[in-house]
Amino acid sequence: MSKMTGAKFIAKTFKGYGVTHVFYMPVILPRAIMEMEKIGIRCIMAHSEKPAVYMADAYARIRRQTGICMSQSVGAANLAAGLQDPYLACTPIIALTGRMPQIAQSRNAYQEIDHFPLFEAVTKHNRLVNKTEQLPFALRQAFREATTGTPGPVHLDLEHIFGDFIGDEEAGLEVVVEEPFTHIPPFRPEPETGKIRAADTLLREAKRPVIVAGGGVTLSQAGAEVVQLAEKLSAPVATSLNAKGTILDAHPLSIGVCGSYSRACANKVVAEADMVFFIGSHTGNQVTNDWTIPSTGTPIIQIDINPSEIGRSYPAKVAMQGDAKATVTKLLKNIGPQPDRAEWTHRAQELVAQWKADVASEVNSDASPIRPERLCREITEYLPSDAILVSDTGHSGIWTGAMIDLKHPEQTYIRCAGSLGWGLPASFGAKCAAPDRPVVCFTGDGGLWYHLTELETALRYGINTVTVVNNNHSLNQEQELNERVYGGRTPGSDALWIFPETDFAAVARSLGCFGIRVDKPGDIHSALDQAFASGKPAIIDVRTDIEGIAPPPWRPSAME
């Protein structure tokens, strides 16, 4: 054990856990930032706390390690608000904030509020650090909490507004790196053999089984095993948005994303199934379309690493606690011969073909303004084989989830868990995590407005991503809601969802980035070529049809 400053200890610990980038808003731990830069950790200063969180979120998802974000005391509330998204997405993050010393609390200290409770709702672990000697215990526990079980954010609140009491003081500190917690998952537990046998029995009884893969499959890197299981069972595979890419869209058993941001064919197949196998899914309202698919009473098998998730929304006939990859691997070794399900798989393929036919006119439209479905087709055809596709929420999640196909196993899809505006800064975090891979962000003008200033951050640090803007100068997903409230289309309702037209390509160029406007679908590929070749953060401003509104998700009552 050697004597060192808290700042040096933090830097060396982060380095030991494999951290390559830290995302922050100043002023926080300035001495630690200097120490990190000395040993090769790049510190990315954002323009606001929430984008710093979003960068750390995507960074962690792509690197499969803990992301780090930081802010001083006055920005802590903003940082906490940003943590909602990685909390919902089950992303391992450590958030560091400063706070006024205890003697200054409850005395109207400048800019100070009790922000500690704000982190309770958006973290797995929330802890005060009052002395430098506490750092070894606090940081090691932070990495354990962030990565184990269902991953999630952790918050450490450091003494003093900039955390510098902790960073500047010296103490006898030993850097200990616990290797399992340098990545996710740190462990791969599997269920007992009796549970596997019970699952085998229920599977062999099913005539129309379907697999629903959730974000736990992505976290566990269990996609290949899930596809093997699907092929052995002759079971169609639907995914949540978080698990998009588990099975390639061209696979005959792939039926697409199910739920509310979905393909109708996926919802129909899940609704017709006589047994649903949830793997690593929280079974929330988005993947089940408000718990309408599967219907109540459908036999359920569920795998989850967190036992409290099993049976949360649907009672499980067979419940298996375990890591998705380890559990499916064990299942593959132990399940017996399956009945002939050719009729069922043909039915699923028929529904997929019907859905493709239903959307073909929009997908192939040459109209200008451009249909968003056509934009998605162009991205599908262009997307590099090792690309990372980063999607914002709302319509962006629907269009990318339902209309963009992943054709190569090396392609990666990550999406916003709910906070509009996440996409742009998240794409920068993804690029920091994988600098040699092309990164494409898909967002709308409504999403881009949130954190447009972060283009300057990307330019300053040479974070060269390509952002495709579905620019219909509106929040048109909200049109129907506002017109229902106003009793029809009125100037009042229009004011709530229509924006003035903005040339985002010109805005990007004014900042020193690359910007290009696209008005015709045939020009999209050329614009993508130019954007990637520019060597700068790039904006492709695609003028799309304001009438391009995603259809409501299919649910069983629609059959009547």
- For residue 264, what are its two tokens? 């109708």
**Cis bond upstream, residue 315 (ω within 30):** no
As a CATH number, domain 2-182 is 3.40.50.970
pLDDT in the model for residue 107: 85
**Pairing mode, strands 67-71 and 93-99:** parallel
The DSSP code for 544 is B
Of 31-35, 132-136, 334-338, 556-560, the one with minimum mean pLDDT is 556-560
Query: 364-543: same fold as 2-182?
Result: yes
CATH number of 364-543: 3.40.50.970
Distance of CA 478 to the CA centre of its chain: 22
Can you read off the two tokens belonging to residue 114? 């009790």
User: How many residues does the structure list for the chain?
Assistant: 560
Task: Tell me the backbone φ, ψ of residue 501, rounded to 5 degrees.
Answer: -70, 135
> Given this model, what pLDDT does residue 302 score?
98
**Dihedral (CA of 348, 354, 359, 360) sign:** positive
Average pLDDT on 522-533 reads 98
> 193-349: what fold?
Rossmann fold (3.40.50)
> pTM of this prediction?
0.97
Predicted pLDDT of residue 395: 95
Cα 151 to chain centroid distance, Å, stands at: 13
What pLDDT, in 10s, does the model give residues 348-394?
Answer: 999 999 999 999 999 999 999 999 999 999 999 999 999 999 999 99
Indicate the pairing of strand 67-71 with strand 439-444.
unpaired
Confidence label for 528 from pLDDT (cuts 50, 70 and 90)? very high
| Angle between helical axes of 342-363 and 372-382 (0-180°, round to 10) | 110
The two tokens of residue 271 are 């609704």
What's the pLDDT score for residue 403? 97
Band of pLDDT at residue 560, cut at 50, 70 and 90 = very low
Has residue 237 got a pLDDT over 50?
A: yes
Cβ-contact 524, 516 below 8 angstroms:
no
Nearest to 185 by CA among 144, 220, 142, 213: 220
Rounded CA separation 452/456 (Å): 8
Query: Which residues lie closer than 8 Å to 202 by C-beta, 6 or more apart?
Result: 275, 299, 301, 317, 318
Cα–Cα distance list, 356 to 10, 266, 365, 443 (Å): 52, 12, 14, 23
- Domains of the chain: which residue ranges? 2-182, 193-349, 364-543
Query: Which tokens belong to 421?
Result: 């505006």
Token output for 339: 């009945």
How far is Cα 151 from Cα 548, in angstroms, rounded to an integer? 36
Q: 3-state class of 528 per DSSP? A: helix
Confidence of residue 559 (pLDDT cuts 50, 70, 90): very low
